[in-house]
Amino acid sequence: MITVGTTVVSGSPINGGGGAGLPVAGGAGEVPVSTGAGTTYAASPISTEVSGVLAGFLGAVSGQTVIGDGAGDLATTSADVSALLASADAPAMRSALCDRTISLAGLTPSNGNGTAVAATGTLSYASGQTGGAWADYPRLVGAHGTSIWAFEAAVRITITGTASSNTVASLGIGSTGSAYDAVSMVRLFGDGQIDGLAVSGAAVWSVYTPGTLPVDGTGWLRVRVQAGVMTCWTGVGASYSAAAWTLRDRRLMVAPPNADNTYPSLALVLYQGVDPGAPGVQAVYSNFTIRDLP
């Protein structure tokens, strides 16, 4: 029997006890669930049913959740926010917030005395070609979109062909002048040696932790500037996040002023000091990443 106000409703199809009405509950916290049109209800734990509804609504996208839409209704998180919430841990979340992968195809290629192909991140010299000055270097140049006073830039490099100590692949941040006034740079030589540049003008190329880096595509170059200190790093690994990093140099950075003191340009450059001979030398850049630092 069910009482609504002062009215007694008897024989209602929602009376408990099975049959055409509600099922007999097997325990606390259960709700009736239909098993199909024209069928009876079955008792099911409410937690199971709520979980099923949420899984069907959100489960197809990792990290997706429900948020208010500001207009009295509900919406789901965007792809970017969902990916952030799906991060495995705090470092992965910081990476999702701060890392920006730069499309090499969006950089401007200049052949110099060699060949520059932005789509593949490839810089090369054929036999008989050399580069002794900025205008001669095959290079990829573009805007990095960050502050040079709090940033990190990293790139993976593969060097092939007749590379030697006269072959130098570099990652630099600087101005956009004809000679590319670099404010910070790290370089990988064809024989695996590395060095770093702290500041243009009275520049000193050095590292206080010497060593070599693979040129087979597992080697990474990274330059970081934070709180007026520039550090150069090398890494070895299949990806930026998985690379094992080694600090190579650390020094105060006192940047000479350029037009707006922002040094808005990044450059990937290949230098070749002597004729490489056949088949020539090639540097392939990939996975270029800029990280904004606090």
Among 19-23, 53-57, 117-121, 150-154, the minimum mean pLDDT is found in 19-23
pLDDT in tens, 34-55: 777 777 777 878 778 777 777 7
Q: How many CB atoms lie within 10 A of CB 63?
A: 16
Question: Which residue from 284, 214, 280, 227 is spatially nearest to 253, judged by alpha carbons?
Answer: 227
Helix or strand or coil: residue 183?
strand
pLDDT in tens, 208-232: 667 789 999 999 998 888 877 878 8
Q: Per-residue pLDDT for 118 more than 60?
A: yes
Q: CA Rg, the chain, in Å?
A: 31
Percent of the chain residues past pLDDT 90, beyond the cut: 28
Q: Per-residue pLDDT for 98 more than 90?
A: no
Please tell me the predicted confidence (pLDDT) of residue 84: 66
Please tell me the predicted confidence (pLDDT) of residue 183: 66
What pTM was estimated for this model as a whole? 0.67
Q: Per-residue pLDDT for 250 more than 50?
A: yes
Among 22-31, 114-123, 124-133, the minimum mean pLDDT is found in 22-31
Question: Which residue from 268, 200, 208, 203 is spatially nearest to 234, judged by alpha carbons?
Answer: 208
Please tell me the predicted confidence (pLDDT) of residue 284: 97
Q: Per-residue pLDDT for 124 more than 90?
A: yes
- Residue 247 or 55, more confident: 247
Q: Span 280-291, mean pLDDT?
A: 92
What's the residue count for the chain? 294
Res. 127 pLDDT band, cuts 50 70 90: very high
Q: Per-residue pLDDT for 75 more than 90?
A: no
Question: Which residue from 152, 123, 113 is spatially nearest to 269, judged by alpha carbons?
Answer: 123
H or E element, residue 26: none
Give the type of residue at 135.
A
Instruction: Name beta bridge partners: 15.
Output: none
Q: Per-residue pLDDT for 294 more than 90?
A: no
pLDDT in tens, 197-210: 655 445 555 566 67
Q: Span 117-137, mean pLDDT?
A: 93
The average confidence (pLDDT) of the chain is: 78
Give the contacts of 39 (CB within 8 A, at least 6 positions apart).
none
- Residue 279 or 260, more confident: 279
